[in-house]
Amino acid sequence: MKDFTVEELKKAFEEQAYILEQDTVVTVFLALKLEKPLLVEGPPGVGKTEIAKALSRIFQAELIRLQCYEGLDENKALYEWNYQRQLIRIQLGKAEEGGDITEEDLFSETYLLERPLLKAIRTENKPVLLIDEIDKTDEEFEAFLFEILSDFQISIPELGTIKAKQIPIVVLTSNAERDLSDGLKRRCVYLYVDYPSIEKELRIIRARVPGVGEQLSREVAQAVNYLRTGIELKKKPSISETLDWAKALVYMDADRLDPALVESTINVLLKNKEDLDIYRQELGAAGLLSAMRSPDCSCRHKHRRD
């Protein structure tokens, strides 16, 4: 696996159309050098998962993803036994003369179904292990992860301890829906990712949306920034929704925003009725354009409709 300097890593991310600030790339660099998991926290839609995907492409490493959810347990994350196959083997053994089946026979590699964590440990080439939205699990599951996050090994009662063939690049993401344990944080390098500035989002749009013009890309970045900061939306537009909006506008041959265009495409950004109502009551298309083009758009009530 290639050994990058900080600047080389930053450039590698940019080649994957992922824009990182200097302090962020330094944090990622240190996590890689220290071979410690990277815990990325921040609001939904700011590109946390994309860091793992970009690392996978940069290092040409397999991306192994564990999508967390409430109720996730060890069986789904680590391994399961293939009970159907075990049952068939037992039945065949009964039919065979001298075909006694021992417990060791049944709980062996033959009947082991590996799940993401076990796969990451046993993969020959260094993979990227993405443990996505860890905050959706409970603290008990967090504690279960400690062994793999600190020692890069797992214990299976029937098979013993299995050490990683290659220490994986581990990225954990959290939307901060609950506080994570100190034990988990202690094992990770911490990175907080917030919504991008206008300038950063402008660079992201230019990198990810082919054919978008200079004025349109800047106005999209400004408009989305105002929607996130100028009114109280239930769900703020994510970066991926910004990109979808920019692409949609390119498809409509737009070179800049106008009220009719914004009104007809705003549902690419705002995805529930409550936010659409807030947007229309407080801004509307003309109000949004006026607000984002104003030299002083920090006052969220200044541009509201009557």
The DSSP result for 67-78, as a single string, is E--TT--HHHHT
Average per-residue pLDDT for the chain:
91
Q: Looking at the domain assignment, is residue 304 inside a domain?
A: no
Residue 36's alpha-carbon distances to 149, 151, 297, 301, in angstroms, are: 8, 10, 42, 45
Boundary residue ending a domain (163, 192, 221): 192
Q: Are residues 211 and 269 in the same domain?
A: yes
| Same domain as 165, residue 30 | yes
- Same structural domain, 181 and 221: no
Residue 103: pLDDT band with limits 50, 70, 90? confident
For range 72-95, the mean pLDDT? 86
| DSSP category for residue 102 | -
pLDDT at residue 303 above 80? no
pLDDT in tens, 244-256: 999 999 999 999 9
Q: Which of 292, 219, 208 is nearest to 254 (CA)?
A: 219
Q: Are residues 241 and 174 in the same domain?
A: no
155-159: average pLDDT:
85
| Residue 159 covered by a domain | yes
202 in the same domain as 182: no
Does residue 118 have a pLDDT over 60? yes
Assign residue 187 the CATH number of its domain.
Answer: 3.40.50.300
Structure tokens belonging to residue 158: 């029937």
Residue-wise pLDDT for 205-233, tens only, equals 999 999 999 999 999 999 999 999 999 99
Give the pLDDT band (50/70/90) at residue 157. confident
Same domain for 141 and 280? no
Task: Indicate whether 10 and 42 sit together in one domain.
Answer: yes
Q: How far apart are CA 53 and CA 63, in angstroms?
A: 7
| Same-domain check for residues 22 and 121 | yes
Going by the DSSP 8-state scheme, the letter that residue 283 receives in this structure is T
157 and 225 in a single domain? The answer is: no
Are 163 and 270 in the same domain?
no
Is residue 108 assigned to a domain?
no
What values do phi and psi take at 255, rounded to 5? -115, -5
Task: Please give the residue range of the domain that contains residue 247.
Answer: 198-290
139 and 279 inside one domain: no
Q: Answer yes or no: is 221 within a domain.
A: yes
Of the three residues 192, 213, 239, the one that is the final residue of a domain is 192
Domain for residue 123, yes or no?
Answer: yes
Residue 90 placed within a domain: no
* 35 and 182 co-located in one domain: yes
d(CA 217, CA 24): 24
**Any idea which of 14-23, 57-66, 79-88 has the lowest mean pLDDT?**
79-88
Q: Kindly state whether residue 203 falls inside one of the protein's structural domains.
A: yes
Rg of the chain in Å (alpha carbons): 25
Q: How many domains does the chain have?
A: 2
